[in-house]
């Protein structure tokens, strides 16, 4: 948990900077609410069938020109599911993994919107890339068979490192919509770590994030 505490404290400090500092428009902070669509390669499923909740905080620091850097602290539900809607005639399974996640990103902005009166200018779109660290906090398995239940939760790695790519659209200066692709760099379950291994195929997670954010 020490890995999570320092970035969280930094994010909270940015969120509660004095109004005079925030007024300089160098820092912005906001709240995030969204959905995730996930799948895991190697677990007998295909398709982004597992839907989950995502919520958290975002802090943005303006760099030079059209560039920004951001830090987020998120609760993210990932996992996998055999199908989007359960079919009583099929072998249904669902795995939910709950993570505390810290993405660090670089943004490039475009499409300048000029402010009116005292309202500052802002950019309507931005494209971003970066890396994310996530800590597994818990799992839930709903499995008509037993293969998924054998691996989760005891054989899953607690730490996850991912790369991410995304895009943001600002409906106005405050309301932002984000699409993001996130893929784990390594395996969340690696059979080479166990002897004997409960399953022979490694598991690799990848997700789609659909976020809405209100930026102050």
C-alpha–C-alpha distance, residues 53 and 51, integer Å: 7
C-alpha–C-alpha distance, residues 78 and 163, integer Å: 15
**pTM for this predicted structure:** 0.88
The backbone region for 65, taken as left when phi is positive above 0, alpha when psi lies in -120 to 50, beta otherwise, is left
Q: Give pLDDT, residue 46.
A: 81
* CB contact at 8 A, 52 and 96: yes
Q: Give pLDDT, residue 18.
A: 42
Domain covering 32-215: architecture: Beta Barrel (2.40)
HSE of 162, CA atoms in CB hemisphere, 13 A: 28
Q: What is the pLDDT along the chain (216 residues), one digit of tens a residue?
A: 554 555 555 555 555 444 444 445 689 999 999 999 999 998 877 889 999 999 999 999 999 989 999 999 999 999 999 888 877 767 788 999 999 999 999 999 999 998 877 778 899 999 999 999 999 999 999 876 667 888 988 999 999 999 999 999 999 999 999 999 999 999 999 999 999 998 889 999 999 999 999 999
Nearest CA to 120 out of 212, 211, 31, 215 is that of: 215
Q: Give pLDDT, residue 19.
A: 40
Q: Give pLDDT, residue 6.
A: 53
Q: What are the extents of the domains in the chain? A: 32-215
């Amino acid at each position: 948990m020490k890995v999570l505490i320092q970035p969280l404290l930094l994010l909270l400090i940015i969120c509660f900077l004095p109004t005079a500092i925030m007024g300089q428009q160098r820092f912005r902070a906001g709240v995030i609410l969204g959905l995730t669509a996930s799948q895991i390669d190697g677990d007998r499923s295909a398709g982004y069938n597992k839907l989950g909740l995502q919520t958290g905080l975002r802090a943005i620091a303006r760099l030079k020109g059209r560039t920004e850097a951001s830090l987020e602290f998120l609760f993210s539900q990932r996992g996998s599911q055999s199908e989007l809607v359960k079919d009583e005639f099929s072998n249904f399974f669902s795995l939910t993994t709950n993570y505390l996640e810290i993405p660090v990103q670089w943004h490039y902005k475009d499409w300048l919107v000029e402010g009116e009166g005292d309202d500052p200018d802002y950019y309507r779109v931005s494209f971003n890339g970066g890396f994310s660290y996530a800590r597994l906090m818990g799992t839930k398995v709903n499995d008509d068979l037993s293969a998924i239940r054998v691996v989760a939760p005891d054989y899953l790695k607690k730490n996850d490192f991912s790369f991410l790519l995304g895009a943001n659209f600002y409906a106005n200066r405050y309301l932002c919509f984000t699409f993001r692709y996130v893929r784990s760099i390594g395996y969340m379950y690696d059979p080479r770590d166990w002897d004997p291994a409960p399953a022979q195929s490694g598991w690799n997670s990848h997700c789609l994030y659909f976020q809405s954010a209100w930026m102050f």
